[in-house]
Amino acid sequence: MKEQHTTERYTLADLENWSKATQDADPPIRLGVLGDPVAHSLSPQMQNAALRACKIDMQYARFHIRANELRSALRFLRALDFVGVNLTVPHKIAAFAQMDHSEESASRAGAVNTIRVRDRKLLGSNTDGEGFLRAIRTEFSVDVRDLRVLILGAGGGAGHAIAWQCALENCERLVLVNRTYEKAQALAERLRPFFAGPRVLGPAARLEATAWDEAALRAQLADVDLIVNATPLGMNPSDPSPIPARLLAPHHMVFDCVYGPSKTSLLRAADEAGARGANGLSMLLHQGALSFSIWFDREAPIDVMRAALL
């Protein structure tokens, strides 16, 4: 009888003694997600269902890797027989500089969420932007190109990828908000060429970086359709909502990249305001299916992956 270790959480110390740490793992662990925190990640259950459905004899595990351990962890991945990994908070931006080669999806965002290991080299890609796009279509039956979008957490890995995707889609309007304002401002400068043409009528600029304070947000939200939370606020049940209900209106669509067993504080605020909301589960599904295709050069069994998440 084969043992499964999919719910287990490995560490850097385990990677250092990999054959001992995984001597009972069958099938072998050759894929995983690296993050801190990582216990919440539903990627293992989704990716392991896909591996089983495709009769690929390996498994996908969680790795609790702290920010200062990433470089060492990536060194072990090169040496061990890994197919690839996903990266989650807080590694996506730091990992970019450590790739041997990056696909355009990663280099434009300056962030990596999918690594493929080939000939001891790390190939970085980013499937968050495309995963986000598909999730918005699924959840709200609209295309990003028709929307005025505000991103909270535009300075992070997911925020960068989503902002680039919105720019590539030529969305109506993009507002970048970040706790560290300078990062949102720097990203806006890079995206400016995409927003040179006029599109919306009225006085609102098509591209803006704005400070994270209530007055600035209130002013922006009057000219926004889709609000995206790309901060980790909401991962912890006691987190406050990144935007209070009093700033939300019924016409808003609220997409929280965070997902979990219960509603996040932002989605509860959306309910209170009568706005439509969706959590990050469908983004997880789509970005994960795209990662699977990168690792195995084949289409992912998306229905199996969706069923595993539900």
Instruction: Report, as residue numbers or ranges, the catalytic residues.
Output: 92
Stretch that binds ligand NAP, among 8-16, 48-56, 78-86, 277-285 (CB under 6 A): 277-285
Question: Is residue 92 near ligand NAP by the rule CB under 6 A?
Answer: yes
* SS3 assignment for 124-148: EECCHHHHHHHHHHHHHCCCHHHCE
In the complex, the smallest distance separating the C-beta of residue 67 from ligand NAP, rounded to whole angstroms, is 9
Is residue 63 within 8 A of residue 34, CB to CB? The reply is: yes
Question: Is residue 235 near ligand NAP by the rule CB under 6 A?
Answer: yes
Question: Is residue 124 near ligand NAP by the rule CB under 6 A?
Answer: no
Is residue 248 within 8 A of residue 226, CB to CB? The reply is: no
Out of 278, 283, 289, 294, name the contact with ligand NAP by CB under 6 A. 283
> Which residue's beta carbon is nearest to the bound ligand NAP?
156
d(CA 309, CA 42): 7
The amino acid at residue 120 is: R
Query: Which is nearer to ligand NAP, 14 or 128 (by Cβ)?
Result: 128
Question: Is residue 17 near ligand NAP by the rule CB under 6 A?
Answer: no
In the complex, the smallest distance separating the C-beta of residue 200 from ligand NAP, rounded to whole angstroms, is 26
| Beta-carbon contacts of residue 172 (< 8 Å; ≥ 6 apart) | 145, 146, 147, 148, 149, 199, 200, 206, 225
Q: What is the largest CA-CA distance in the chain?
A: 67
Question: Is residue 277 near ligand NAP by the rule CB under 6 A?
Answer: no
d(CA 139, CA 281): 10
In the complex, the smallest distance separating the C-beta of residue 232 from ligand NAP, rounded to whole angstroms, is 4
Stretch that binds ligand NAP, among 13-21, 70-78, 82-90, 199-207 (CB under 6 A): 82-90
Q: Locate all alpha helices (DSSP H) within the chain, ordered by sequence.
A: 12-16, 18-21, 43-53, 70-79, 92-96, 104-109, 128-140, 157-168, 181-191, 214-221, 265-273, 281-296, 302-309
Stretch that binds ligand NAP, among 8-16, 49-57, 203-211, 281-289 (CB under 6 A): 281-289
In the complex, the smallest distance separating the C-beta of residue 181 from ligand NAP, rounded to whole angstroms, is 8
Question: Is residue 254 near ligand NAP by the rule CB under 6 A?
Answer: no
Residues that bind ligand NAP (CB under 6 A): 88-90, 92-93, 128, 131, 153, 155-159, 178-180, 183, 230-233, 235, 257-259, 280, 283-284, 287
